[in-house]
């Protein structure tokens, strides 16, 4: 039973419905010339981890994939065998919206699967319906395998356990914007889309890469024109304590400091670096006994700080939905509760 659940979950990760939308997994697949993904990468995803952490169970499950997945020779990596199918025109008609599932449900995806166990589900999308703290709002879009299944669910409108819920066609969802979506294609397999659509995708991705490169160059230029300081603390401190202290000494641009560590770096708007260092070095941070020592950053320290800053900026742009909004990204970066690059946050669950 466990292997069946594991296979179902992994096939969902690589499905037509999920893979093109999962930025992390999509980039991981396409970063390998043959499309292989290490099983250890999949074990970072919460839903798979909750089922098993045993590599043998995962390998045996993948071996039972009839058409979608295959293992490499030593059983350490998995990839999709078939190309992403071009989107059919009836996706909206096969999809429903449900509202009113109790927010206390601990595992909403599993609960919805159980609720609709007699129907073939292609995908369940709940990430668009989460609160700021990532808690479940009791809503979901559900893509069924057939239009007929969607119509049956709509006609029955069965309660969710003992709770009455609202069910409607996805096409009737308020504010839904329907537009033609291009089909993403895996780079290591022959394309299934017409040449003109493929060219559209290539043009979009080329433009995005060019915009991203322009922003990287802009951020790098800004960094190179700044004043850079490295520092050490006598004991660990909270991020905001360090940030506020440094901001009181000059026009602070960005801090790379991991909460409760003792080392970090920061850069400021261009100023007299020796004078700035003198203000910071061998001081006690306000209202604490924590001593800070600083130095003018050397080339290695500057490179490490620049790399961290560029990574942070890129993550902020991704969090902002891929929008290349310099002003908004600057404000978010400088006011972020954590100035250091975050640990990777995979969206797959």
The reported pLDDT for the residue numbered 266 is 95
Confidence at residue 260, expressed as pLDDT on a 0 to 100 scale = 79
336: pLDDT strictly greater than 50: no
Q: What is the pLDDT of residue 177?
A: 56
Residues 265 and 339 sit within 8 Å (Cβ to Cβ): no
Q: Is the pLDDT of residue 347 over 70?
A: no
pLDDT tops 60 at residue 101: yes
Over residues 109-135, the mean pLDDT reads 87
Per-residue pLDDT tens digits for 44-62:
998 899 999 999 999 999 9
The answer to whether residue 18 scores a pLDDT higher than 50 is yes
Domains 2-80 and 222-335 share a fold: no
pLDDT, one tens digit per residue, over 62-89 is 999 988 999 999 999 999 999 888 776 6
Q: What is the pLDDT of residue 89?
A: 65
For the cut 60, the answer to whether the pLDDT of residue 297 exceeds it is yes
- Return d(Cα 20, Cα 186) in angstroms, integer: 9
- Cα separation, 141 vs 173, whole angstroms: 10
What residue segments make up the domains of the chain, in order of their start? Answer: 2-80, 95-172, 222-335
Confidence of residue 320 (pLDDT cuts 50, 70, 90): low
pLDDT digits (tens, 9 = 90+) for 262-294: 999 999 999 999 999 999 999 999 888 999 999
Is the model more confident about 335 or about 9? 9
Predicted pLDDT of residue 334: 37
- Indicate if the pLDDT at residue 3 is higher than 70: yes
177-181, 192-196, 205-209 — most confident range: 205-209
The radius of gyration computed from the CA coordinates of the chain, to the nearest angstrom, equals 25
Q: In the CATH hierarchy, which top-level class contains the domain 2-80?
A: mainly alpha
Q: What is the pLDDT of residues 139-187, one digit of tens each?
A: 999 999 899 999 999 998 888 988 889 999 988 887 665 555 556 777 7
Q: Which CATH number fits domain 95-172: 3.40.50.300, 3.30.70.330, 3.40.50.280, 3.40.1010.10?
A: 3.30.70.330
- Which range is least confidently modeled, 93-107, 264-278, 314-328? 314-328
What pLDDT is recorded for position 304? 94
Which pLDDT band, with edges at 50, 70 and 90, does 346 fall under?
very low
Confidence class for position 6, pLDDT limits 50, 70, 90: very high
Arithmetic mean of pLDDT over the chain? 83
- Is the pLDDT at 109 greater than 60? The verdict is yes
200 versus 19: the higher-pLDDT residue is 19
**Higher local confidence (pLDDT), 217 or 195:** 217
CATH class of 222-335: alpha beta
CA-wise closest residue to 48 among 1, 2, 10, 4? 10
């Amino acid at each position: 039973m466990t292997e069946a659940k594991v296979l179902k979950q992994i096939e969902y990760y690589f499905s037509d419905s999920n893979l093109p939308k999962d930025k992390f997994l999509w980039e991981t697949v396409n970063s390998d010339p043959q499309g292989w993904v290490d099983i250890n990468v999949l074990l970072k995803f919460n839903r798979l981890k909750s089922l098993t952490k045993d590599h043998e169970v995962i390998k045996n499950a993948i071996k039972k994939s009839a058409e979608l997945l295959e293992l490499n020779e030593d059983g350490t990596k998995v990839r999709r065998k078939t190309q992403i199918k071009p989107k059919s025109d009836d996706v909206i008609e096969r999809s429903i919206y449900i509202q009113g599932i109790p927010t206390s449900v601990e595992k909403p995806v599993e609960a919805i699967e159980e609720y609709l166990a007699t129907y073939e589900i292609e995908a369940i999308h709940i990430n668009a319906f989460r609160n700021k703290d990532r808690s479940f709002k009791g809503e979901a879009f559900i893509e069924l395998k057939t239009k007929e299944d969607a119509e049956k669910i709509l006609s029955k409108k069965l309660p969710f356990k003992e709770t009455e819920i609202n069910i409607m066609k996805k096409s009737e969802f308020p504010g839904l914007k329907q537009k033609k979506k291009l089909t993403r294609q895996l780079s290591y397999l022959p394309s299934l889309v017409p040449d003109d659509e493929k060219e559209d995708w290539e043009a979009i991705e080329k433009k995005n890469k060019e915009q991203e490169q322009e922003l990287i160059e802009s951020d790098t230029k800004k960094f190179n024109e700044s004043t850079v300081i490295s520092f050490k603390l006598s004991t660990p401190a909270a991020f905001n304590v360090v940030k506020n202290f440094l901001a009181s000494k000059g026009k602070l641009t960005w801090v790379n400091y991991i909460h409760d560590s003792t080392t970090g770096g920061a850069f400021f708007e261009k100023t007299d670096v020796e004078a700035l260092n003198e203000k910071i070095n061998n001081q006690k941070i306000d209202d604490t006994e924590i001593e800070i020592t600083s130095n003018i950053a050397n080339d290695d320290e500057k490179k490490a700080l620049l790399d961290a800053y560029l990574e942070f900026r890129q993550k902020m742009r991704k969090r902002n939905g891929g929008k290349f909004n310099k002003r908004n990204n600057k404000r978010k970066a400088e006011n972020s509760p954590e100035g250091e690059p975050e640990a990777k946050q995979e969206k797959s669950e």
